[in-house]
């Protein structure tokens, strides 16, 4: 183990800094001290590390990663060649073979070599020698936050550790593997309910399990479906009581893929197979929909190759975002993105999808990089369907913790998922057997210009001044698209030069539909509950909600921040005070404890929500801050005691603020699968810990109610919602005041490719 | 006068069709008949028009419009040359001299020749011979809606009429001028409170009026300001009681423009001059801010030419939306925009800014153009400031009705206000003396591609299918930017190929600030009410709201529509019914009368808001519809009895629905200036008229609470909000299913201009 004790002193924080198995993570005394004497602590820590840090030794023999010989989940880009011209322009050209990658930054994800080393270390561990096992997660165990904050480029890398979640001996294990010492330095089994995120092997295996059942095969054939036309989906069971306890269960429902790639539109309604994920045994078959026809294949296929394109279809002329001098961003050491006034660390993650860390923005006056957010990521999703019947009630997905939001992020399609100027980043993940694999083109980074305006002003003839000053708005987008079976989530982190970060969720993909005997609404009596919309003959799009909860560890000019509710309230004037009877007044209320920051948004009782640094003031004395600007909001209306809502209780409020705790990252709990809701953000927040002038974490939930409509059939046009993190008295003044306007001579000269 | 009586028949609607001076506009019997027998009525009407229509005779001598000899409000583009390359590519090349323009469509705005003709007709009218007068509005009087709906390209043009609002003899007059017969066919004086929209001459004159007062000049000099450094603004007074009755008043406040173009940041605080707009007399001077210093000029100028650009400023590489084969839209006859599956009529308007009419979308299956919206425009704005003190209480702007939202729309800045592929449209308006003038480049139309995704789906390794289908999202934007003195409003109508219309308001420009003795917040005691934020030394950004109310005359597949509230409510399950305790159910409630459609949005009691055509069903029996999708919502919290809120009562709800009535267009009333609120949308709606299966009009208000922050100084980065009109069971299925993906070979080949 790394030894921190170098100079005989024994400050209280040293003891804890590398023992991370307490539930509350870092000892608060460490943090307090780190804040008050930042520089000294950093010097001490750096000395300690220099002394203690063993040079990182790459494995003597570079192992070659080959998609064909490693994991089946390894993906390659089908359009790799299309990327070349653009990547050549990019000074940080992307390496697509990751076998020789090495970490450069304390937050860099595990490399192929490191994942292989973890596997090798674990293979000699007691636990994994004695029984079959599956690794559900192998990711970097991030170093303690104060160490990362001290680290600067050029410093020796912080000790590399892996955090492993494994199933073995019928239990879930959480292990920390020290890559320097090749030892397992922590091993815990969790006592709470719930299971780890499924492996892709779990999901795939489940889809085939029903075929082992003669009863299942018989009912499929009796419904007139050829077994070779069968497509089945693994559906998380949720938790509804004792029957979901003490074994890992999954429900499998099937579709006919005859005559369409869009089998989702051809459900074999009412047939649900309960499978034990560990034994692969069929536990129960519920077969209630035999009277419901399987909807027709006609008009369901969405692939371009399957369309009848009428010659009269009017096509748009080609349109493209062009940057003849190349993009303005660079990506250093594979993960550090630098663009305009922004700098941040970006990595793919199997559970969160994308993690943004150490987001800093350059002050236009001092030129300094200033901290904005230590870490931001999609913490959990909650997608309850609104049909209480047998084949539907359990559909209350938590896509990050159950399926792995990053695991489901497929390679992006160049020129369509991202524009031509995009840079693509691969994910390197571990399969259930511990073997690394590459998810290529999983994340893209690009500059966007939609023709929008950064700021403007014209003078009018009233003043007679000849002024027209306008600045174009260019942004940097980080994008991922996760296809969690039928649904596609497009996740954007958009950085603006004015300091704003927009976090946008786009919903597309394919609806989860229900087979129905109805072919027309005239067969439906007024009072009947369809639980959705008749989209096509025999197809009902079932009503559902989407909640996407973001963990935003804000560090506004330092870690110790406060959450301020700026309440906007009507103030009545006193008689004779003013011809006005009323006006609005903004009152600042600093949240003292967590319960002060459990926020339900109210249109008629509005507030702004600031994260400020109370010890850093602007020149005229306002505390520097960022505010969360809510958007696209829907609230969960389910009964608070409904089992799905207890598990998804992190959606009980739109905003929460918690004190930083490195174990509190996953809003639905670390082990979400079949969990009972004991480890959610709502439970943590009820502790009502102090949050004033502390290292605090902001949580925001974007919500959507989705009542399907026919336009969503057979594939949904994207619906988007977003919220913003926006500087509020963070800068002394408009940070893009000095930005130049566009002029003709800087813009490209283009010609159609066909005439080239 | 045009005679409709051609064939001896005397159907009840003929009598009314061209007599439009009833408050309720069209006789309901006309409309009913027009709907039930659309085709016959159209045939009859066309025959009548053919018979009655005199060929439109252009004036014998084409008058040349010259900016220098006509109106001072005439504007030219300073960047005209920059437009050329792009316009040449555009098949509908823009004519920038409008002297020979002639109308082609019944809704085309008045041409220069027509405005000149109106002036000539009025000059011989009794009213204008006998006294000095000012024309406050000269616009097309749109033909009756059923006539416009019947009209097809190639048909003779409908009779052209002008609607004129004039001040003469101390009264406001509303006149209809028939351009065929050269007669004034209607003349009314309005009995309600309020005055017409100010002319630009009113505003300009007011700013100079205080200089006639020795007292005013003395106080300016005593405050140390050179009179040549003075810049004054005309501020609408609002209405607060008797003192604002029976004469047209305006308040003038002044600023020092010494050492900065941004005089708005240098208020001469507390000095308010009340001016009679008709006599130009100074009525009253309130001088209460002598102890408040004028804020410094340093760091207030926002012009690029005034910036110190540090050499280390990192600039972005050029970025541009490129369409080497040109834009995909055409503009026929100057005003009909055709793009992808959309077609609509577009015109600048002095009050509304931009009017979209006859928006139709092509059905992908039948190929037919289907009606969506008859007319959509910004009806009114309400911008109350939240400071009840003497120099601020009255700032409760209604920018469309008081200042003219279109009158304040200055020429757009090519390459910055709109991207390179934009087409620019000029406005042709009338000055107070009736002379036409051209507001060049007032509106732009362009295709936007931000790198977003129209729809997508990938299959994951779970199903093992190799599918990745993604379609890029390209939209068409119609943009205008109004600079109402300090503030800039960017108004976008964005049309999507999936049938969605996004209406977006961007706020930029310059804050209205208050001078203050404070230079630092440490001088402010906790309880003190600043009414805003200290932005810089001696500068307070005062809290204010923005409400932008849109009139949306939806005609979903025809004029007779219903408004349906689809309520999303929790449904508890019965004991034993389901492992679930609750789910959400959507219940459709058709609004019978206006009060059923007075909607306050509620996060915890949500609904969807559909405008449907109850007599047009999809194949599976859903009524076709469009829904309004609220966004960026803030509600006015002022006391309902506060005079500003009575005048701005159209913001009392976020959504309203009224029966179509051609006189109910302006949500704050026709005469908003100093109005008392007797003619607002709220008053109309209280009549509680039937709205089920009628020609209905939807009203939506976008709201913003703006608590200023230092980033808004000295000019504000754009803040945007939007709402959508979205097809809901309007199409049988996804209307962009057959759209092709982007492929490399279609995209342009570009090089930097510098190397050209």
Q: Which residue of A has its CA nearest to B504?
A: A452
Residues of chain B positioned with their CB less than 8 A from the CB of A543 = 568, 584-586
Q: What is the pLDDT of residue A44?
A: 56
Q: Which residue of B has its CA nearest to A536?
A: B620
Q: What is the pLDDT of residue B231?
A: 95
Does A583 touch chain B if contact means CB atoms closer than 8 Å?
Answer: yes
CB A626 within 8 A of CB A657: no
Q: What is the pLDDT of residue B33?
A: 39
Does B201 touch chain A if contact means CB atoms closer than 8 Å?
Answer: no
Q: What is the pLDDT of residue A672?
A: 97
Residues of chain B positioned with their CB less than 8 A from the CB of A569 = 637
Q: What is the pLDDT of residue A36?
A: 40
- Give pLDDT tens digits for A508-530: 999 999 999 999 999 999 767 89
Residues of chain A positioned with their CB less than 8 A from the CB of B645 = 582
ipTM of the complex: 0.91
- Give pLDDT tens digits for A396-449: 999 999 999 999 999 999 999 999 999 999 999 999 999 999 999 999 999 999
Q: What is the pLDDT of residue B460?
A: 85
Q: Cβ–Cβ of B319/A474 closer than 8 Å?
A: yes
Q: Cβ–Cβ of B579/A314 closer than 8 Å?
A: no
Q: Which residue of A has its CA nearest to B444?
A: A451
Burial label for A680, CB within 10 Å (0-12, 13-18, 19+), is buried
Please report which confidence band the pLDDT of residue A35 belongs to, taking 50, 70 and 90 as the band edges: very low
Task: Say which residue the tokens 């404890």 belong to.
Answer: A593
Proportion of chain A above pLDDT 70, given as a percent: 86
Q: What is the pLDDT of residue A58?
A: 30
Residues forming beta bridges with residue B342, ordered by sequence position: B339, B361
Q: Which pair of structure tokens corresponds to residue B84?
A: 């050329």
In the predicted structure, residue A460 carries a pLDDT above the cut 80: yes
Q: Which pair of structure tokens corresponds to residue B32?
A: 């009913």
Q: What is the pLDDT of residue A96?
A: 63
Task: Say which residue the tokens 């028009």 belong to.
Answer: B49
In the sheet that holds B513-515, the strands lie side by side as B513-515, B539-542, B532-536
Q: What is the pLDDT of residue A734?
A: 98
CB A616 within 8 A of CB A623: yes
A contact residues 677-706, partner B, Cβ 8 Å cutoff: 705
Q: Cβ–Cβ of A741/B450 closer than 8 Å?
A: no
Is A724 catalytic? The answer is no
Q: What is the pLDDT of residue B530?
A: 94
Q: Report d(CA A754, CA B204) in Å as an integer.
A: 55
Q: Which residues 6+ apart lie within 8 Å of B176 measured at CB?
A: B20, B21, B141, B161, B162, B163, B164, B184, B185, B186, B187
Q: Report d(CA A392, CA A269) in Å as an integer.
A: 10
Per-residue CA distances from B316 to A321, A475, A740, A742 (Å): 14, 10, 9, 10
Per-residue CA distances from B341 to B322, B499, B607 (Å): 21, 8, 29
- Give pLDDT tens digits for A162-195: 999 999 999 999 999 999 999 999 999 977 789 9
Does B576 touch chain A if contact means CB atoms closer than 8 Å?
Answer: no
Q: What is the pLDDT of residue A78?
A: 37
Does B615 touch chain A if contact means CB atoms closer than 8 Å?
Answer: no
**DSSP-based three-state secondary structure for A208:** helix
Does A320 touch chain B if contact means CB atoms closer than 8 Å?
Answer: yes
Quote the mean pLDDT of chain A.
Answer: 88
Pairing state between β A501-509 and B453-458: unpaired
Q: Report d(CA A2, CA A51) in Å as an integer.
A: 10
Please report which confidence band the pLDDT of residue A718 belongs to, taking 50, 70 and 90 as the band edges: very high
| Phi, psi (deg, nearest 5) at residue B641 | -95, 0
Does B314 touch chain A if contact means CB atoms closer than 8 Å?
Answer: yes
CB B699 within 8 A of CB B667: yes
Does A528 touch chain B if contact means CB atoms closer than 8 Å?
Answer: no
In the predicted structure, residue A462 carries a pLDDT above the cut 90: no
Per-residue CA distances from B740 to A308, A313, A687, B499 (Å): 11, 10, 53, 17
In the predicted structure, residue A73 carries a pLDDT above the cut 60: no
Closest CA to B407 of B439, B440, B444, B441: B439
* Domains present along chain A, CATH in parentheses: 12-189 (3.10.450.40), 200-306 (3.10.450.40), 330-746 (2.70.98.20)
Q: Cβ–Cβ of B581/A531 closer than 8 Å?
A: no
> What is the secondary structure of B317-344 as a DSSP string?
PP-EEE-TT--S-EEETTTEEEETTEEE
Q: Which residue of A has its CA nearest to B365?
A: A310
Proportion of chain A above pLDDT 90, given as a percent: 81
Q: What is the pLDDT of residue A92?
A: 37
pLDDT less than 50: residues of chain B: 1-37, 46-72, 76-95, 756
A–B interface: beta-carbon pairs under 8 A: 622
Residues of chain B positioned with their CB less than 8 A from the CB of A323 = 317-320
A27 C-beta neighbours (distance < 10 Å), count:
17
Q: Which pair of structure tokens corresponds to residue A199?
A: 């492996």
Q: What is the pLDDT of residue A27?
A: 39
CA distance A16 to chain B (A): 39
Q: Which residues 6+ apart lie within 8 Å of B40 measured at CB?
A: none
Q: Report d(CA A269, CA A575) in Å as an integer.
A: 68
| Phi, psi (deg, nearest 5) at residue B683 | -70, -45
Q: Cβ–Cβ of B485/A462 closer than 8 Å?
A: yes
Best to test chain B binding among A460, A567, A724, A727 (most B CBs inside 10 Å): A460
Q: Which residues of B are catalytic?
A: 399, 487
Q: What is the pLDDT of residue B754?
A: 62
Q: Cβ–Cβ of A545/B600 closer than 8 Å?
A: no
Best to test chain A binding among B462, B546, B625 (most A CBs inside 10 Å): B462
Taking residues A612-638, report their average pLDDT: 96
Q: Which pair of structure tokens corresponds to residue A548?
A: 């996407």
What is the CA angle B618-A716-A444, rounded to 5? 165
In the predicted structure, residue A387 carries a pLDDT above the cut 80: yes
Closest CA to A744 of B93, B79, B446: B79
Q: Which residues 6+ apart lie within 8 Å of B482 measured at CB?
A: B353, B399, B405, B406, B408, B409, B410, B488, B489, B491
Q: Cβ–Cβ of B580/A393 closer than 8 Å?
A: yes
> What is the secondary structure of B131-179 as a DSSP string?
S-EEEEEEEE-PPPHHHHHH--BTBPPPPPEEEEEEEETTEEEEEEEET
Closest CA to B714 of B373, B266, B378: B266
Residues of chain B positioned with their CB less than 8 A from the CB of A581 = 638-639, 641-643
Q: Report d(CA B470, CA A412) in Å as an integer.
A: 9
Most distant CA pair in chain B, distance: 87
On the question of a cis peptide bond just before residue B714, with omega within 30 degrees of 0, the verdict is: yes
CB B426 within 8 A of CB B74: no
Best to test chain A binding among B242, B369, B748 (most A CBs inside 10 Å): B748
A487 C-beta neighbours (distance < 10 Å), count:
23
Q: Cβ–Cβ of A727/B709 closer than 8 Å?
A: yes
Q: Report d(CA B508, CA B491) in Å as an integer.
A: 11
Residues of chain B positioned with their CB less than 8 A from the CB of A634 = 603, 606
Does A561 touch chain B if contact means CB atoms closer than 8 Å?
Answer: no
- Give pLDDT tens digits for B15-62: 223 333 333 333 334 443 334 445 555 755 544 444 443 333 333 333
Closest CA to B128 of B165, B188, B164, B168: B168
Does B245 touch chain A if contact means CB atoms closer than 8 Å?
Answer: no
Q: Which pair of structure tokens corresponds to residue A376?
A: 């931001």
Closest CA to A534 of A552, A550, A515, A547: A515
CB A584 within 8 A of CB B638: yes
**DSSP-based three-state secondary structure for A264:** helix
Residues of chain B positioned with their CB less than 8 A from the CB of A513 = none
Q: DSSP state, B20?
A: -
A contact residues 157-186, partner B, Cβ 8 Å cutoff: none
CB B606 within 8 A of CB A634: yes
Closest CA to B267 of B230, B315, B219: B230
Q: Cβ–Cβ of A638/B570 closer than 8 Å?
A: yes
Of B415, B472, B603, the CB nearest to A633: B603
Q: What is the pLDDT of residue A206?
A: 96
Does B64 touch chain A if contact means CB atoms closer than 8 Å?
Answer: no
Q: Report d(CA B644, CA A21) in Å as an integer.
A: 61
């Amino acid at each position: 183990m790394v030894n921190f004790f170098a100079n005989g002193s024994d400050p209280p924080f040293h003891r804890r800094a590398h023992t991370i198995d307490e539930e509350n993570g870092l000892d608060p005394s460490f943090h307090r001290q780190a804040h008050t004497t930042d520089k000294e602590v950093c010097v001490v820590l750096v000395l300690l590390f220099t002394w203690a840090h063993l040079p990182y030794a790459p494995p003597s023999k570079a192992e070659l990663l080959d998609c064909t010989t490693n994991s089946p989940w390894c993906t390659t880009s089908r359009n790799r060649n299309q990327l070349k011209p653009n990547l050549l322009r990019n000074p940080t050209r992307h390496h697509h073979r990751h076998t020789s990658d090495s970490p450069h930054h304390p937050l860099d994800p595990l490399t192929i070599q490191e994942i292989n080393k973890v596997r090798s270390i674990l293979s000699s561990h007691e636990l994994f020698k004695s029984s079959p096992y599956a690794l559900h997660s192998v990711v970097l165990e991030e170093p303690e936050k104060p160490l990362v904050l001290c680290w600067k480029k050029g410093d020796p890398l912080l000790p590399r550790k892996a955090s492993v979640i494994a199933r073995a001996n019928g239990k879930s294990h959480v292990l920390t593997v020290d890559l320097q010492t090749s030892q397992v330095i922590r091993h815990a089994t969790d006592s709470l309910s719930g299971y780890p995120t499924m492996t892709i092997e779990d999901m795939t295996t489940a889809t085939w399990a029903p075929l082992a059942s003669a009863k299942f095969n018989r009912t499929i054939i009796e419904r007139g479906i050829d077994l070779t036309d069968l497509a089945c989906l693994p559906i998380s069971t949720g938790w509804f009581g004792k029957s979901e306890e003490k074994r890992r269960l999954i429900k499998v429902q099937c579709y006919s893929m005859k005559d369409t790639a869009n089998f989702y539109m051809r459900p074999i309604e009412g047939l649900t197979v309960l499978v034990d994920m560990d034994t692969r045994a069929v536990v129960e078959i519920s077969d209630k929909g035999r009277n419901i026809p399987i909807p027709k294949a006609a008009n369901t296929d969405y692939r371009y190759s399957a369309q009848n394109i009428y010659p009269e279809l009017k096509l748009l002329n080609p349109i493209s975002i062009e940057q003849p001098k190349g993009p303005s961003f660079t990506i250093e050491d594979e993960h550090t993105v630098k663009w305009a006034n922004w700098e941040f660390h970006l990595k793919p993650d199997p559970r969160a999808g994308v993690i943004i860390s150490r987001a800093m923005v350059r002050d236009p006056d001092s030129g300094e990089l200033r901290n904005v957010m230590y870490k931001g990521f999609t913490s959990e999703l909650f997608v309850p369907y609104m049909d209480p019947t047998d084949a539907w009630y359990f559909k209350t997905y938590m896509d990050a913790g159950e399926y792995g939001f990053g695991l489901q992020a497929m390679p992006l399609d160049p020129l369509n998922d991202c524009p031509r100027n995009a840079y693509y980043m691969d994910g390197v993940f571990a399969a259930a057997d511990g073997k690394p694999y590459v998810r290529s083109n999983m994340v893209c980074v690009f500059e966007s210009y939609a023709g929008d305006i950064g700021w403007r002003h014209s003078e009018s003839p009233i003043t007679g001044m000849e002024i027209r000053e306008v600045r174009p708005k260019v942004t940097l987008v980080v994008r991922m698209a996760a296809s969690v079976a039928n649904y596609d989530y497009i996740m954007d982190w958009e950085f603006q030069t004015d300091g704003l970060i927009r976090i946008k969720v786009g919903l597309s993909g394919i609806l989860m539909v229900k087979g129905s005997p109805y072919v027309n609404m005239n067969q439906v009596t007024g009072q009947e509950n369809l639980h959705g919309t008749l989209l096509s003959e025999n197809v009902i799009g079932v009503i559902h909600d989407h909640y996407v909860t973001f963990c935003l560890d804000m560090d506004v000019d330092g870690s110790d921040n406060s959450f301020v509710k700026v309440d906007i309230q009507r103030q009545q004037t006193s008689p004779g005070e003013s011809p006005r009877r009323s006006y609005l007044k903004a009152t600042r209320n600093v949240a003292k404890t967590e319960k002060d920051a459990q926020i339900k948004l109210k249109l008629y009782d509005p507030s702004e929500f600031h994260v400020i640094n109370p010890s850093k003031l602007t020149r005229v004395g306002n505390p520097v801050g960022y505010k969360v600007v809510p958007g696209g909001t829907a609230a969960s209306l389910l009964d608070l005691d409904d089992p799905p809502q207890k598990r998804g209780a992190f959606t009980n409020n739109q905003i929460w603020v918690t004190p930083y705790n490195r174990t509190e990252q996953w809003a639905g709990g670390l082990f979400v699968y079949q969990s009972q809701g004991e480890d959610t953000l709502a439970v943590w927040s009820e502790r009502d810990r102090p949050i004033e002038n502390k290292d605090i974490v902001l949580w925001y939930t974007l919500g959507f109610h989705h009542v399907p409509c026919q336009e969503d059939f057979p594939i949904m046009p994207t619906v988007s919602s977003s919220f913003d993190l926006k500087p509020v008295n963070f800068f002394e003044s408009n940070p893009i005041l000095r930005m130049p306007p566009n002029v003709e001579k800087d813009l490209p000269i283009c010609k159609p490719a066909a005439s080239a």
